[in-house]
Amino acid sequence: MSEHVEPHFQEELELLKERLLAMGGMAEEQVRAAVAALVDRERDLLAEIEAGDEPINRLQVEIDSLAFRLLALRQPMAVDLRTIVAAIKINSDLERVGDLAVNIAQAAGRYLDHPPVKPLVDLPRMADIAQRMLREALDSYVRRDTDLAQAVLAQDDDLDALKTQVFRELLTYMFQDPGTIAPSLELILVSRHLERIGDHATNIAEDVIFMVSARDVRHALDDDALRRR
Amino acid sequence: MSEHVEPHFQEELELLKERLLAMGGMAEEQVRAAVAALVDRERDLLAEIEAGDEPINRLQVEIDSLAFRLLALRQPMAVDLRTIVAAIKINSDLERVGDLAVNIAQAAGRYLDHPPVKPLVDLPRMADIAQRMLREALDSYVRRDTDLAQAVLAQDDDLDALKTQVFRELLTYMFQDPGTIAPSLELILVSRHLERIGDHATNIAEDVIFMVSARDVRHALDDDALRRR
């Protein structure tokens, strides 16, 4: 499967994947909690979500140094190299998902200063899709499953359609009652944050597709390596 | 300065930096053009900006494969390794800046369907700051200049303050005249896109600081390497 079959290397690579999955789980939970606090008008939960970003940031540093160690000490080639570089990219994406969950919590805090504009139905739906995209994107990384990665890309359109729907509906509220302008703007921001979480899941899925199926790239590398010898 | 002093390696590393600078210049120009088209109400220029994303995407693929080749064939250590991994991260950031310039052009297109809400002063100011942050972040990468990278981080507050100002001012317009709601929302979105461009410049500056000054990480690596021998 790869040039590096020594057990240590594969063990460390498994650890790297395991940490990424843990980080993904934490980021996903932060997104869920932030949207739940918004929908249930639970202001008390918001501080918890803001505090919950710190462990994600610590995990980011840990994963980066794991990945750097693997690159520096093991000098992997081809698919292993792409797997580790993908981990570094995915790590950045997950850290930003964590930031976006905090941004959602902050917008929720401002939204809760106002009476509710409307029952929130589409935003939790967007959150569900974004969370599932994130989870499946990480699964596709761990299982090297390009079909699953493709399925993640396909879901981005659903998220986009809901975002447009949220926007149009809130525009109507704002037209009818200027008192809803400020809180509606916060909901629009939340929908954009959720859209960006979907974008990060999309980035991860694209990295997986490159990682698994970039045969051309790898072959170009091999040819190049031969030429230089 | 580094373990790898062979001329080929340093030449290829220079090429990588040169391509990143070229990509940064293109992304910066796209941002400038998108905001200029918005301010000058030049709808004709918008298609050009949308088309201008393609060369940036091509350059992203080229830079990624340059970086992968350096990692795979040269097996760099320590600061060189961090320089190449930083290039891969910066490459992603610049590609997204290109996307954001297109998003600004799209919002501009929708904004131009309406009469002007107000003379646009703060948005071009935000664009100037974001462009400068981007340029200085890339300079700090090429020159390994952590002072300059720190200066980039400091400018993010200016961008944030302007974003808040834009938001508050437009809120007032929307309250006073519901006819300005839809176009004002587009301007708010543009200010968020510019803020995100500043965030990408901030990411780059943080990568530079890690790349140059992560002595602890490198030493931890070296110790580890010794222990394993």
Predicted-complex ipTM score = 0.82
Q: Please, which residues 24-63 of chain A have a Cβ atom closer than 8 Å to chain B? A: none
What's the count of helices (H) and strands (E) in chain B, helices before strands? 8, 0
Model confidence, pTM: 0.87
pLDDT at B78: 81
What's the gap in Å between the CA of B148 and the closest CA on chain A?
Answer: 23
pLDDT at B9: 87
pLDDT at B52: 97
Neighbours of A229 (CB within 10 A): 4
DSSP state of A2: -
Q: Is residue B1 part of a domain?
A: no
Percentage of chain B exceeding pLDDT 90: 82
Q: Which residue of B has its CA nearest to A85?
A: B85
pLDDT at A6: 58
When the pLDDT of each residue in chain B is averaged and rounded to a whole number, the result is: 90
- Per-residue b or e along B112-143, where b marks 16 or more CB atoms closer than 10 Å to that residue's CB: beeeebeebebbebbbebbbbbbbbbbbbbee
Q: Is residue A28 part of a domain?
A: yes
pLDDT at B7: 60
CA–CA gap between residue B199 and residue A97 (Å, rounded): 14
pLDDT at A160: 96
Q: Is residue B2 part of a domain?
A: no
What's the gap in Å between the CA of B7 and the closest CA on chain A?
Answer: 14
pLDDT at A97: 98
Residue B108 pLDDT > 60: yes
Q: Is residue A107 within 8 angstroms of chain B, CB to CB? A: no
Decide: helix, strand or coil at residue B175.
Answer: helix
CA–CA gap between residue B162 and residue B153 (Å, rounded): 16
Question: B interface mutation test: which of A8, A65, A85 has the most B CBs within 10 A?
Answer: A85
pLDDT at A175: 94
| Inter-chain residue contact A73 with B225, CB threshold 8 Å | yes
Q: Is residue A2 part of a domain?
A: no
CATH of the domain at A117: 1.20.58.220
**Average pLDDT score over residue span B201-219:** 77
| Inter-chain residue contact B181 with A181, CB threshold 8 Å | yes
Q: Is residue A198 part of a domain?
A: yes
Structural domain including B85 reads 7-228
Nearest to B130 by CA among B206, B58, B209, B27: B27
pLDDT at A229: 35
Q: Is residue A153 part of a domain?
A: yes
**Average pLDDT score over residue span B85-94:** 95
Q: Is residue B16 part of a domain?
A: yes
Successive 10-residue mean pLDDT values, chain A, 229 residues: 62 95 97 98 97 96 93 83 94 96 98 97 98 98 96 96 97 95 97 97 94 56 41
Is pLDDT larger for residue B72 or for residue A204? A204
pLDDT at A144: 95
**Average pLDDT score over residue span B161-185:** 96
Q: Is residue B225 within 8 angstroms of chain A, CB to CB? A: yes
Q: Is residue B21 part of a domain?
A: yes
Residue B193 pLDDT > 70: yes
Q: Which residue of A has its CA nearest to B226?
A: A73
Report the domain count for chain A: 1
Question: Could you please report the per-residue DSSP string of B92-136?
Answer: HHHHHHHHHHHHHHHHHHHHTTS--SS---HHHHHHHHHHHHHHH
Neighbours of B92 (CB within 10 A): 20
pLDDT at B223: 42
What's the gap in Å between the CA of B132 and the closest CA on chain A?
Answer: 23
